[in-house]
Amino acid sequence: MRLISVLADCWLGLCRKTPVLHTASAVVLGDPGGIRSVQPDTGGGARGQGRIRNGIGIASESIRALFHERRLLAFSFLSGLVILVLVLAERWNLSHIDTSYAASNLITAPIGDTYLIVFDLRLFLIEAVCLSGFTLLLAALVRYRNARNAAMPITLRCAFSEAGRHAGTLAALSITMAFVATILLEIASQNPFTGTVVSAISHAMFWLPYAYYVAPNGILTTLFFSFQMVIANAFLFLLVLYVVPVIVLEDKGLMPAITGSFRLIMKTWRELLGCALVFGAIILAVALIGLVIGQSPALLNNDYDFFLQVSRGQVLMMAACYGFLLACGVLMALGATVLGVAVTDLYACGRAGSLATDQEPPTSPLAEPAR
């Protein structure tokens, strides 16, 4: 709008009229139908692609943060301890299976001449302990990262202390996920389809005939079932992606946090897709390495003497196999921290979008100002 000031004629420095301000009506040039709306683009297009790129940037920044901020390695170290506890607990569980195990720890349902395992109490306890550890670590990491994003850094001790204020809600979340994980693992272990899929993956990536020739009895079974449990737990955390940030940062109960988590997932699904591209590429690269190791007998024309003779390849292949498993464990520990950082940044992105939508004033057509 242009303001035009018209000054009355002056004579000998004396104004005969008081200066008056006149307003001119706003004029919009061009075709009104061709004017673009300033509302956010809720559909796809360039804006959607920009949000996917934003997700890629969040994933990349979370990886860089792990190496630039050494304090985050403390969370990775503690995550590694939780994974180690999971493996040792599973090892103890498998080594103490006897005739009385089914009567005291398994809840079964008769189906014809057989029994279907419905629930494993010992497995549930192992899951509850380990998921409680992962949930507490994630809560402290979310609090620590959020404070840093707000330019108000806090210490690790303070982060754990503030996460501990929500111990009851976090424990309820852990127990709920442990219950669901136990059911899923039992269904997967007894379903023929999932059993076939898991067997095919294990033979393709983690099976080396005679390569574990001198391995302690039962260690491969322990690692295999522990790996299954970690995958099941990761799947559950992805389903309730923002629950822990909502609990810690918004001080909400379990059910409101779950509801808020699903709302944020719907708002940030494009950013999540960008993160999935980055993390999926890393997982694919690790899987390809495992596939090469697992298919090494075929690559060597099934020359099993190479795997049996110490002078040829037994020591080399055992180092490759156990080194790969150890590397997978380290990547899981580091990945838990990276995912925690990414989830916190994604939560901040989703909350910023929600606040911007809530605070945006309603638009109204241009009106001629009062004269």
| Per-residue pLDDT in tens (0 to 9) along the chain, 371 residues | 444 443 344 434 444 444 444 444 444 433 333 333 333 344 455 666 788 999 999 999 999 999 999 899 999 999 999 999 999 998 888 877 765 565 566 666 666 556 566 678 888 999 999 999 999 999 999 999 999 888 888 999 999 999 999 999 999 999 999 999 988 888 887 777 887 887 777 777 666 555 555 555 567 778 778 888 888 898 899 988 999 999 999 999 999 999 999 999 999 999 999 999 999 999 999 989 888 888 888 888 878 778 777 778 778 888 888 888 889 899 999 999 999 999 999 999 988 865 555 555 544 444 444 44
Q: How far apart are CA 245 and CA 150, in angstroms?
A: 15
Helix (H) or strand (E) holding 23: strand 20-23
Q: How far apart are CA 251 and CA 227, in angstroms?
A: 33
Cβ atoms < 10 Å from Cβ of 85: 14
Helix (H) or strand (E) holding 256: helix 254-267
The whole-number pLDDT of residue 307 equals 77
For 130-199, give the DSSP string: HHHHHHHHHHHHHHHHHHHHTT----HHHHHHHHHTTHHHHHHHHHHHHHHHHHHHHHHHH-HHHHHHHH
| 170 Cα distance to chain centroid | 17
| 14 Cα distance to chain centroid | 77
Q: Which of 53, 66, 65 is nearest to 273 (CA)?
A: 53
Distance set, CA 38 to CA 26, 47, 360 (Å): 19, 13, 11
The answer to whether 147 and 154 are in contact (CB under 8 A) is yes
Residue tagged 């706003």 (tokens):
26
For 325-344, give the DSSP string: HHHHHHHHHHHHHHHHHHHH
Q: Which of 337, 343, 283, 342 is nearest to 79 (CA)?
A: 337
Token digits of residue 231: 């995958």
Cβ atoms < 10 Å from Cβ of 111: 8
Q: Which of 174, 180, 141 is nearest to 335 (CA)?
A: 141
3-state secondary structure of 88: helix
Q: Which of 284, 285, 289, 283 is nearest to 320 (CA)?
A: 289
The whole-number pLDDT of residue 257 equals 94
Token digits of residue 287: 């899987």
Distance set, CA 71 to CA 44, 151, 292, 322, 342 (Å): 38, 16, 35, 28, 16
The whole-number pLDDT of residue 41 equals 42
What contacts 215, CB < 8 A, 6 or more positions away?
A: none
Token digits of residue 38: 């300033």
Q: Which of 309, 357, 268, 217 is nearest to 58 (CA)?
A: 268
CA angle 235, 236, 242 (to 5 degrees): 110
The whole-number pLDDT of residue 147 equals 92
φ, ψ for residue 241 (rounded to 5)? -55, -50
For 74-130, give the DSSP string: HHHHHHHHHHHHHHHHHHHHHHT--TTHHHHHEEEEEETTEEEEEEEHHHHHHHHHH
